[in-house]
Structure 1
């Protein structure tokens, strides 16, 4: 299986039409069709459901497309990191939770770019499960994850600062006038929870289980959850400082008793970091080291 064929395949996936994909690739349509057919024969499965005007992926095709994207992403990153001159060049990929502690990493990136302008940093907002998956597969170099987290598979740096948990509510809600959110409030409101750890967080604070909660929706990114709150779907459990509520229709109300989460930068134990990734890690460590007056 050649990387060129994977690129042909993903272009067909993108365009949903072999003729349009051929034009984008500057390759004849019969060549692309033959390569896709040979790929299906090699894999022993059908990747596309052919229609009259567009083609759709089969379930096997969906899985293979996701794997092909990861393979090409890893390949492109590897080639970029190998082709270096005296100046460090390359691409670094960071999977990150939504957290204010990301500011420390951002400051390190700014300083790094001054020293090595040809290093490109790619930040992907995602959750802990996908971060672990992509660190293991080599797609991500680093992850920024919320605590608590089992870090037995990782080397890590604890990032400064903590974020407080609370509810994002409409300004018109009675909860918006309260200083904190109580057990009674949680027990009588529709909730929008993070896909990972939301119900565990409520259980840790109030002792309520998933079955005790009125969950209207779940989310991966708090910005999307804030739109659900604005639409009146429910109130979103999340971290302070992620969504700017100034001059908006939303208010953040912290939980009581107080509960906060810290953040860590993680990378896979035993992973061989590229020079670009090593340079970023060095700069982040420098950000965490107090300067002497």
Structure 2
């Protein structure tokens, strides 16, 4: 039994088929199958029920899975420490994406690959797209307005009206856009959502009383919490005392997702990509 054989075993478990597993670890299917057979021979048991479309764990395979994953992660961690060069994924993150979304995307991978070092690089979309093309980052987390190719949506975002916790609307579940007419309003500028929102204001002849403008979601939320006005922003978890209210007559959606190159992808980066796609909304 060796580390590579355990890696093959875990790849089959995580991907469900020998073919998909071989692609993840970048070997041919016969090579992976031979590695699994050697592992089974060394253990003296059959680990997988081999079907035409999938590979499922036998009772012995189920028993082997937890210690195999723990041992693999520990051995990779030790190897990384000895080499002083841990396996790493460099992820570019769009500057205006809320970190709740980033944490959610990463956590689905982190729970089963704790030994991988993850570095986050925050920048604008154009810069991230360029870094991805130049292979300065392994993948990027951006929204559906991105210039980069191969975008795969993970999390759907919807716009809400955000009000202070003590606002008369705070307990409302739904509200019409026209309610903002004449209301003190904090405008989120330089945001992909703002142009279609402004078009809706013009079409419905709605004129909020814009009292402040801010370039970041965090600034907007802090200003709303201070009772300086209301705003339109995507729903999220926040420490600020604000309430998010669904807009009855405004349907502008956007997705948060990932982009990855088509070629020369490292196995642990490919594993990250597959893990987050499996957890998409």
Q: Who is 1:240 aligned against?
A: 235
For each residue in 1:181-204, what CA deviation from the matched residue of structure 2 results, as whole angstroms up to 9, or x when unmatched?
433332323223152124223135
User: Which residue of 2 is the match for residue 107 of structure 1?
Assistant: 107
Give the aligned partner of residue 277 of structure 1.
269
Match of 1:175 in 2: 169
Structure 2 counterpart of 1:218: 214
Q: Aligned pair 1:261/2:253, yes or no?
A: yes
Q: 1:135 aligns with which of 132, 135, 140?
A: 132
**1:45-194 → structure 2 map (5 Å cutoff):** 89-96=87-94, 97-98=97-98, 102=102, 105-114=105-114, 117=115, 119-124=116-121, 128-136=125-133, 138-147=135-144, 149=145, 153-159=148-154, 161-188=155-182, 189-194=184-189
Separation of aligned partners in 2, 1:138 and 1:223 = 30
CA contact (8 A) 2:223 2:229 kept: yes
Identify the match of residue 231 of structure 1 among 226, 234, 238: 226
- Give a deviation string over 1:52-71, Cα, whole Å, max 9, x none: xxxxxxxxxxxxxxxxxxxx
* Partner SS, residue 201 of structure 1: helix
Q: TM-score, normalised by structure 2?
A: 0.54
Q: How much does 1:270 deviate?
A: 5.2
Counterpart-to-counterpart distance in 1, 2:125 and 2:260: 13
Counterpart mapping for 1:18-33 below 5 A? none
* 1:18 paired residue number: none
Change in Cα spacing, 1:176 to 1:200, as seen in structure 2 (3 Å) is same
What TM-score does the superposition give when structure 1 sets the normalisation length?
A: 0.52
Q: Tell me if the contact between 1:142 and 1:265 (Cα under 8 Å) persists in the aligned partners.
A: no
Could you tell me how far apart the structure 2 residues matched to 1:179 and 1:283 are? 34
1:249 to 235, 241, 255: 241
RMSD in angstroms over aligned alpha carbons? 3.8
How far apart, CA to CA, are the structure 1 residues paired with 2:263 and 2:229? 42
| Residues 106, 276 of structure 2: 8 Å contact kept | no
Q: Which runs of 5+ in 2 are unaligned?
A: 1-81
Q: 1:173 and 1:287, CA in 2 relative to 1: closer, same or farther beyond 3 A? A: closer
Count of aligned pairs between the two proteins: 195
Q: CA deviation at 1:284?
A: 2.5
CA distance in 2, matches of 1:162, 1:111: 22
Contact 2:93 2:141 in 1 (8 A): yes
Contact persistence 1:93–1:139 (CA under 8 A):
no
After TM superposition, give the deviation of residue 124 of structure 1 in Å. 4.7
Gaps (5+ residues) in structure 1? 1-83
Question: What is the CA–CA distance in structure 1 between the aligned matches of 2:207 and 2:272, rounded to whole Å?
Answer: 44
How far residue 167 of structure 1 moved from its aligned partner, in angstroms, is 1.9
